[in-house]
Amino acid sequence: MANVIITGGSRGIGAAAVTQFAAKGHRVFFLYEKNHTAAQAVAEKTGATALCCDVSDGAAVTAAFQKIGDVDILICNAGI
């Protein structure tokens, strides 16, 4: 089981990636910025952990990664 982080995971391609990795039994974290409702829905559907984070803010990204620990797979999907 891998630790997977997906940026922009609350909708579209990111949400699809969250769904696929979670279905395979991986421990999935996804970052999102604004849409709390969509993020909550993805988290409830998949069991993944949603973390609100502006990926253009280096300090916010560092703080998010400190909560997660080791990273095995990183998918940079957020559009900035």
Rounded to two decimals, the pTM is 0.92
The model's pLDDT over 53-64, given as tens digits with 9 standing for 90+, comes to 999 999 999 999
Residue 31 CA to residue 55 CA, distance in Å, equals 8
User: Strand runs (DSSP E) across 1-80, as ranges?
Assistant: 3-7, 27-32, 49-52, 73-75
Please compute the mean of the pLDDT values over residues 27-47 and round it to a whole number: 97
Question: What is the three-class DSSP state of 2?
Answer: coil
Question: Residue 57: what pLDDT?
Answer: 94
Distance CA 62, CA 59 (A): 5
**DSSP assignments along 49-67, one per residue:** EEEE--TT-HHHHHHHHHH
